[in-house]
Amino acid sequence: MGKAAKSAKGASGALLPALLGCSFTASFGQSMMNAALPEVAHRFDVTLSVANWLIVGYMVVAATSIMLSAFLLRRFGLRRVFFAGCGAMALGSGLALLAPDFPTLFGCRLVQAVCTGLFFPLVTSAIMTNSPSGSRGTRLALNSGVIAVGLAVSPTASGLALTCFGWSALFVTPLVMSLALLAAGYFLIHGARAAERSSIDVLSVVLGPVGLGALMYGLGEVTHDPAPSIAALVAGAAVLGLFVWRQLVLKDPLLNLRPLGHARFAAGIVLVMVGMLTSFSMSILLPLYYEGALGYTPFLAGLLLLGPVLVNAAFTFLGGKVFDRWGIWPLVPGGLVLVLIGQAGAFFSAEGLLVALVVASSAAVYAGAGFVVAPSKTAALGQLPPDLYPHGASINSTAVQIASAIGSSLFVGVLSADVLRDTAAGLAKASAYASAFAHTLTIAVGIAAAGLVLAFFYSKALRAHGKRHGSAAEPVEPPHSGR
């Protein structure tokens, strides 16, 4: 018994570095355009909201790939899905080096997005399946921390490449990383070549991205052109409603929604989305503020983002340790209080161009989000039986991408509309960006405040559930799967 446990622990320990490499590569690719949007808009002569589709489109394709991931893992196994993800990042990055125009670059970003969509649920599911029950929270938090580091380093590295070496250099780093991961994974990633012979519903594959794309378009353009945007929102919601209905009636759905029947899982996923929206508001808005209001280069904008996002990584890991020992209360509500404090600081210092205070306030937002996302995810997954882990992981990862896409469309759409309106009225560009940044933050404040109310009741409910079952903390850790 002891020997088997040690063997399982050793196997999972050997797998962990490769899994973390997957998460870093996926998160790096996801956020590499955050500090580059103004330069993209200028270089290709498009508006900021159009340039933002390099991020929004990425999220939509990533979400679709996530929905496909459970089927692909069953059909082809861990090793082949890993190689497919690496290949997508390498191919998209390599082609982007030669992209002559915006549509080509957009297509390359969609190819890159397949990597992120495959890797995020792959890593979460592998950790949940192969880790001892007492270390799952810590390992999931470590994984979230690695993702946060990737999100932090990417805008800085991309800004440096863009500022010092030109446009093409932007895609060298993800190309090299994906090739290196391919080489390492050849020796470290193992798994069955194929597990199940199963079919896939092609209509669901179409409905998901079409509905999300229409919804994101509506959110991004609603302040520019309300009538067609509202029509797109309604159409997107209707298509997504049809997608959900189809998943519920299919015997073998693209995205198994059964985990959402567990109320505590569903509430935890909502909190994950709230945490992602609050942190992503800073990740997407701060570079625009630094470059538009202060006139900084993409490299300096990315550099100013680096410290606060590294704070997020540290607090994410710390939150995992605290969660493993004491549970979700008062960790998640306290994190959202910290988010609100940071948002208030950024709001009141933005128009005064108080850079140091903006950076410090953003660090508080990222720190608070670190106490929200990973613990909420672990708590949510812990409400599921082991056979639903892969589906729960897919839902979680899909929700993260949807939250990021919503945040990007909504925040950039509002900021872009404000800047266009204010500059047309004669306001200086720097003042217009500062005012728009502060205004857009109020939306993020509303999201965080609503999340705080949910977090208070959710964490109290889990704590009470734990006490009824004779545990000092909530029994949110999933039972060990035996692997």
402 and 277 within one domain: yes
The answer to whether residues 266 and 349 belong to one domain is yes
Most confident option among 130-134, 269-273, 295-299: 269-273
**Position with higher pLDDT, 324 vs 365:** 365
Q: What confidence score (pLDDT) does residue 197 get?
A: 67
C-alpha angle 176-282-222 in degrees, rounded to nearest 5: 105
Identify whether residues 58 and 106 lie together within a single domain. yes
70, 75, 257, 383, 466 from 389: Cα distances, Å: 10, 17, 12, 10, 21
Q: Does 65 map to a domain?
A: yes
CA angle 325, 326, 329 (to 5 degrees): 150
* pLDDT exceeds 80 at position 137: no
pLDDT for the residue 10: 42
Number of other residues whose CB lies within 10 A of the CB of residue 53? 24
In a shared domain, residues 147 and 289: yes
**Last residue within a domain, chosen from 253, 269, 292:** 253
- pLDDT (average), residues 298-319: 84
Decide if 483 is inside a domain.
no
Same domain, residue pair 41 and 96: yes
Give kind and range of the element (H or E) at residue 66: helix 53-96
3-state secondary structure 87-149: HHHHHHHHHHCCCCCHHHHHHHHHHHHHHHHHHHHHHHHHHHHHCCHHHHHHHHHHHHHHHHH
Residue 481 covered by a domain: no
Name the residue with higher pLDDT: 26 or 389: 26
302/287 Cα distance (integer angstroms):
7
pLDDT in tens, 6-50: 434 444 556 788 888 888 999 899 888 888 888 888 888 888 888
How far apart are the C-alpha atoms of 207 and 236, rounded to whole Å?
Answer: 9
Mean predicted confidence (pLDDT) in 253-273: 86
Distance CA 471, CA 89 (A): 44
Q: Which CATH number do you get for residue 258? A: 1.20.1250.20
Whose structure tokens read 């039986």? Answer: 385
Is the pLDDT assigned to residue 328 strictly greater than 70? yes
**How many whole angstroms separate alpha carbon 318 and alpha carbon 315?**
5
CB 74 within 8 A of CB 389: no
The CA distance from 53 to 59, in Å, is: 9
Query: Alpha helix (H) ranges present in 351-388?
Result: 355-370, 373-381
Owning domain of residue 136 = 2-200+254-468
Question: For residues 396 and 140, is the Cβ–Cβ distance under 8 A?
Answer: no
CB of 287 closer than 8 Å to CB of 412: no
Where does a domain end: 231, 253, 275?
253
Q: What is the pLDDT of residue 344?
A: 92
Q: Per residue in 217-237, is it b (16+ CB within 10 Å) or e — as a string?
A: bbbbbbbbeeeebeebbebbe
One domain, residues 284 and 258: yes
One DSSP character per residue, 214-231 reads HHHHHHHHTTT-HHHHHH
- Structural domains of the chain, count: 2
Q: 334 Cβ partners below 8 Å, 6+ apart?
A: 368, 371
- Phi and psi at residue 80, in whole multiples of 5°? -70, -40
Helices (H) and strands (E) in the chain, counts: 16, 0
Say if 419 falls within a structural domain. Answer: yes
Asked whether residue 149 falls in the same domain as residue 208, the answer is no
The residues, ordered by sequence, that sit 6+ positions from 131 with a Cβ below 8 Å of its Cβ are: 12, 139
Give the tens place of pLDDT for each residue, 138-197.
Answer: 777 788 778 877 877 888 888 888 888 877 788 998 999 999 988 888 887 776 555 566
* Shared-domain flag, residues 59 and 36: yes
Q: Find the mean pLDDT for residues 123-134.
A: 73
Q: What is the pLDDT of residue 475?
A: 36
Q: Beta-carbon neighbour count of residue 358 at 10 Å?
A: 28
Could you tell me if 266 and 249 lie in one domain?
no
Mean pLDDT over the full length of the chain:
81
Residues 105 and 160 in one domain: yes
Of 232, 253, 274, which one is at a domain's C-terminal end?
A: 253
Q: Is residue 455 domain-shared with residue 396, that is, in the same domain?
A: yes
- Mean pLDDT over 389-413 rounds to 82
